[in-house]
Structure 1
């Protein structure tokens, strides 16, 4: 007997809702601003350490930049 059900017992609208739900969970990228923050944000000091380790900056530049970053950090924490 026909009761008006299509698509294996679900109306087309329900299939659409399920499709959108599954798309939202599995396909959307996680790098959308303001969305899922799985990656740890790098601090400026972490970036500086990485640049020094890769040889992009010299030890003198590293030490000078580190002092500037640490002094800025102290100023921001005292406010």
Structure 2
């Protein structure tokens, strides 16, 4: 009964093609996972000055409020206007 348990290596674990399929599947998952996060533009946090400019552009604050808050940010951060 040697053919029952050992069939010339054919039934020994995963076949060569099975390993290839598994490898391709894992590579696809890895590449898809990385590309999903690479496309995000909002990964970078906005600075307080960028938030202030965006709020002014949207009309959420007036020019006077913008200048007042910018002066406070510049003073606190040690920036020169």
TM-score, L = length of structure 1: 0.58
Task: Pick the structure with greater CA Rg.
Answer: 2
| Structure 2 stretches lacking a partner, 5+ long | 1-7
Q: Who is 1:20 aligned against?
A: 26
**Mapped partners of 2:73, 2:50: distance in 1:** 11
Residues 1:65 and 2:72 are matched in the alignment: no
The normalised TM-score by structure 2 is 0.57
Decide which structure has greater helix share: 2
1:60 deviates by 1.5
> What is the count of residue pairs matched by the alignment?
66
Instruction: Flag structure 1 segments of 5+ consecutive residues without an equivalent.
Output: 31-35
